[in-house]
């Protein structure tokens, strides 16, 4: 017997996931997170392994599809392909669209594979270390996750932390499991909010419904100018484009993977950092931004590098690396499987399946995009105003099915759609809120366990060497945030002075 699950139905499901993911990724405004969230209810009918093939397919496809509109119409399909527009669009404009697309696809594939290797190597190590964690360290790790948000929300440090803790507060609504007492819930809502708001409606509301509100406000006027020169190429793609790009490929993939490991850091931060590094190390930095393959490689390798990276903390610590993996948590929860330090030892088959599925999805992504790219790139012309009504319907199905059929969860979907819309207006990062919301209940449990065991003394959080190490990380991330903020301000002041 194989140490993992694979079969015809899994391969088909993965292929479906990748293709749907590419479509979501390629349509500007629709993201990989949205794809995974919308299709999660479909997995209720599957076993966990098959569900993982679908969800990982959506994830890989969703991140990869973003390069198509980025290159052809200068609009990133997903936030993480923002840097792809810098060099991709100039290439398309001078008639090398197909070459640009293929460079992007190959880089995406390499990024995905490198991050897969990192996932396979580091998850067991991190899990082993995390096994030694008591509730004190687990509490501190979550606290660390919340401060990392701050370190990387550029210029938005305070708002980022605020959103994170606000998410924690909202997650605490409902009944506390130790003494079965309610808090922050009006009496008449108790029967419905025993365990607060469900993750799925909150998530789809924040990331899908709020988006629809935003675009409704803008009037849903999408005009996509047809680009003819996008694929009628004078420059042909060849693998010689990657000559001398080896270091760039690996460096960018690893940057993506590393940024993926840090909770709450999205693909856009990863690709911007990788692009900046590619520019720093480039022999011809002046060419980047004018249509150099080098920049494309950096951007696409890093945003696909994110996929494996974001799964590392999810599977080893139970902390999602980004908003898409946050949705994956609910897939595991639905099947009654706890992600965390014991995950690999208790579910070796599932763990192997994840690696195989991720490999398969990357290969399918490559095959589905590389050869038929001319036809696939037509996706960007699908009118979104026709898709959104259907998306709304699927979101409602998903929310309703969360707890096996409650209309309350559908109302929660609408409420968080409005909340997400308002967040966007007052510049509160919804992804930080979500990380806080997901980790809030654990944060509370570990905190209460820790201080109960110590008889109420807060010194327990400073009592063990592993704890000190995590404190060090927390202090470092806050210090970095402050330093980065100050640097940003200086730069802005210097620009203003000029």
Partner 1 sequence: MIQVVYSTEHWIVPIITMGVLVVLLAAIILTEGRARVQEGKPFFQKPGRFFLENYDKMKLWGTLLLFAGYIFALDVIGFTVTSLIFVFLFNVLYTGTSKKALIGSAVIAVVASLLISVMFGIVFNITLPSGMCSITFADFGFTIY
Neighbours of 396 (CB within 10 A): 19
The single residue among 52, 103, 199, 401 that binds partner 1, judged by CB under 8 A, is 401
By CB under 8 A, tell whether 279 contacts partner 1.
no
Q: How many residues bind partner 1 (CB under 8 A)?
A: 60
By CB under 8 A, tell whether 186 contacts partner 1.
no
- Contact in structure between 123 and 314 (CB atoms under 8 Å): no
By CB under 8 A, tell whether 333 contacts partner 1.
no
Nearer of residues 226 and 386 to partner 1, judged by Cβ: 386
Q: Which of 197, 196, 297, 199 is nearest to 242 (CA)?
A: 297
Local structure of 232: helix, strand or coil:
coil
The distance of closest approach from Cβ of residue 94 to partner 1 in the complex, given in angstroms and rounded to an integer, is: 35
* 232 backbone dihedrals φ, ψ, rounded to 5°: -85, 90
The single residue among 2, 333, 418, 472 that binds partner 1, judged by CB under 8 A, is 418
List Cβ neighbours of 449 (8 Å cut-off, separation of 6 or more): 135
By CB under 8 A, tell whether 480 contacts partner 1.
no
- Contact in structure between 110 and 253 (CB atoms under 8 Å): yes
Local structure of 86: helix, strand or coil:
helix
By CB under 8 A, tell whether 388 contacts partner 1.
yes
By CB under 8 A, tell whether 9 contacts partner 1.
no
Q: Distances in Å between the alpha carbon of 103 and those of 57, 182, 197, 220, 323?
A: 21, 55, 43, 32, 27
Neighbours of 11 (CB within 10 A): 15
Nearer of residues 223 and 386 to partner 1, judged by Cβ: 386
- Secondary structure element (H or E) that encloses residue 174, with its range: strand 174-176
Neighbours of 169 (CB within 10 A): 12
Nearer of residues 132 and 489 to partner 1, judged by Cβ: 489
Nearer of residues 277 and 449 to partner 1, judged by Cβ: 449
The distance of closest approach from Cβ of residue 173 to partner 1 in the complex, given in angstroms and rounded to an integer, is: 9
Q: Binders of partner 1 among 238-267, rule CB under 8 A?
A: none
* Span of 269-277, 327-335, 336-344, 452-460 interacting with partner 1 by CB under 8 A: 452-460
By CB under 8 A, tell whether 407 contacts partner 1.
yes
The single residue among 56, 202, 296, 396 that binds partner 1, judged by CB under 8 A, is 396
* Span of 24-32, 113-121, 218-226, 468-476 interacting with partner 1 by CB under 8 A: 218-226
Give the start-end residues of each E strand in 329-419. none
Q: Binders of partner 1 among 49-88, rule CB under 8 A?
A: none
By CB under 8 A, tell whether 393 contacts partner 1.
yes
- Contact in structure between 40 and 397 (CB atoms under 8 Å): no
* Span of 239-247, 266-274, 361-369, 381-389 interacting with partner 1 by CB under 8 A: 381-389
By CB under 8 A, tell whether 329 contacts partner 1.
no
Return d(Cα 288, Cα 283) in angstroms, integer: 10
- Contact in structure between 63 and 22 (CB atoms under 8 Å): no
At 176, list the tokens.
């506390």
By CB under 8 A, tell whether 381 contacts partner 1.
no
By CB under 8 A, tell whether 462 contacts partner 1.
no
List Cβ neighbours of 428 (8 Å cut-off, separation of 6 or more): 159, 162, 163, 166
Nearer of residues 2 and 453 to partner 1, judged by Cβ: 453
At 171, list the tokens.
């997650």
- Contact in structure between 311 and 354 (CB atoms under 8 Å): yes
Instruction: Give the residues across from 183 on adjacent strands.
Output: 174
Return d(Cα 55, Cα 34) in angstroms, integer: 11
Q: Which of 108, 160, 405 is nearest to 264 (CA)?
A: 160
* Span of 59-67, 217-225, 317-325, 350-358 interacting with partner 1 by CB under 8 A: 217-225
* Span of 50-58, 67-75, 196-204, 207-215 interacting with partner 1 by CB under 8 A: 207-215
The distance of closest approach from Cβ of residue 317 to partner 1 in the complex, given in angstroms and rounded to an integer, is: 20
Nearer of residues 411 and 468 to partner 1, judged by Cβ: 411
Q: Distances in Å between the alpha carbon of 294 and those of 241, 280, 300, 306, 344?
A: 9, 12, 10, 19, 37
Return d(Cα 373, Cα 102) in angstroms, integer: 8
By CB under 8 A, tell whether 437 contacts partner 1.
no
Return d(Cα 364, Cα 414) in angstroms, integer: 35
By CB under 8 A, tell whether 172 contacts partner 1.
yes
By CB under 8 A, tell whether 432 contacts partner 1.
no
By CB under 8 A, tell whether 491 contacts partner 1.
no
By CB under 8 A, tell whether 168 contacts partner 1.
yes
The distance of closest approach from Cβ of residue 447 to partner 1 in the complex, given in angstroms and rounded to an integer, is: 6
By CB under 8 A, tell whether 404 contacts partner 1.
yes
By CB under 8 A, tell whether 336 contacts partner 1.
no
Return d(Cα 173, Cα 102) in angstroms, integer: 48
By CB under 8 A, tell whether 29 contacts partner 1.
no
By CB under 8 A, tell whether 42 contacts partner 1.
yes
The single residue among 281, 411, 469, 483 that binds partner 1, judged by CB under 8 A, is 411
Return d(Cα 18, Cα 462) in angstroms, integer: 46
Return d(Cα 240, Cα 444) in angstroms, integer: 54
Residues that bind partner 1 in the complex, under the rule CB under 8 A:
41-42, 44-45, 158-159, 161-162, 165-166, 168-169, 172, 175-176, 178-179, 181-184, 209, 212-213, 216-220, 383, 385-386, 388-390, 392-394, 396-397, 400-401, 404-405, 407, 410-411, 414, 417-418, 425, 443-444, 447-448, 451-452, 456-458
């Amino acid at each position: 017997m194989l140490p993992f699950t694979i079969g015809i139905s899994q391969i088909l499901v993965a292929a479906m996931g990748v293709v749907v993911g590419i479509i979501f990724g390629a349509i500007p405004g629709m993201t990989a997170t949205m794809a995974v969230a919308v299709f999660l209810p479909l997995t209720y009918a599957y076993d966990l392994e098959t569900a993982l093939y679908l969800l990982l397919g959506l994830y890989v496809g969703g991140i990869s599809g973003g390069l198509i509109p980025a290159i052809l119409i200068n609009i990133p399909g997903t936030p993480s392909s923002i840097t792809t527009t810098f060099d991709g669009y100039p290439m398309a404009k001078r008639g090398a669209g197909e070459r640009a697309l293929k460079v992007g696809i190959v880089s995406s594939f390499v990024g995905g594979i490198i991050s897969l290797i990192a996932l396979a190597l580091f998850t067991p190590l991190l899990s082993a270390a995390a096994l030694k964690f008591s509730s004190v360290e687990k509490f501190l790790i979550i606290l660390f996750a919340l401060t990392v948000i701050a370190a990387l929300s550029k210029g938005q440090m305070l708002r980022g932390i605020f959103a994170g803790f606000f998410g924690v507060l909202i997650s605490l609504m409902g009944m506390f499991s130790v003494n079965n007492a309610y808090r922050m819930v009006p009496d008449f809502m108790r029967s419905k909010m025993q365990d607060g708001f469900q993750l799925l409606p909150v998530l789809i509301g924040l990331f899908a419904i709020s988006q629809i509100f935003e675009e409704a406000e803008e009037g849903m006027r999408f005009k996509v100018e047809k680009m003819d020169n996008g694929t009628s190429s004078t420059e042909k793609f060849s693998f010689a484009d990657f000559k001398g790009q080896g270091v760039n490929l690996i460096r960018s993939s690893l940057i993506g993977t590393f940024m993926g490991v840090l909770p709450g850091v999205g693909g856009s931060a990863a690709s911007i950092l990788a692009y900046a590094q590619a520019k720093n190390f480039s022999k011809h930095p002046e060419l980047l931004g004018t249509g150099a393959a080098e920049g494309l490689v950096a951007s696409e390798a890093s945003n696909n590098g994110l996929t494996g990276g974001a799964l590392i903390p999810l599977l080893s610590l139970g902390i999602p690396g980004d908003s898409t993996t946050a949705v994956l948590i609910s897939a595991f929860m639905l099947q009654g499987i706890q992600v965390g330090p014991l995950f690999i030892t208790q579910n070796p088959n599932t763990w192997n399946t994840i690696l195989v599925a991720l490999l398969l999805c990357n290969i399918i992504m490559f095959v589905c995009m590389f050869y038929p790219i001319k036809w696939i790139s037509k996706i960007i012309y699908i009118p979104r105003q026709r898709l959104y009504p259907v998306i709304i319907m699927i979101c409602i199905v998903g929310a309703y099915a969360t707890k096996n059929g409650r209309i309350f969860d559908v109302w929660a979907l609408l409420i968080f759609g409005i909340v997400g819309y308002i967040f966007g207006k007052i510049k509160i990062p919804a992804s930080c809120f979500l990380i806080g919301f997901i980790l809030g209940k654990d944060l509370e449990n570990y905190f209460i366990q820790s201080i109960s065991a110590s008889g109420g003394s807060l010194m327990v959080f400073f009592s063990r060497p592993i704890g000190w190490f995590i404190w060090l990380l927390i202090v470092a991330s806050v210090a970095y945030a402050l330093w980065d903020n100050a640097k940003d301000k200086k730069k802005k002041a210097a620009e203003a002075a000029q």
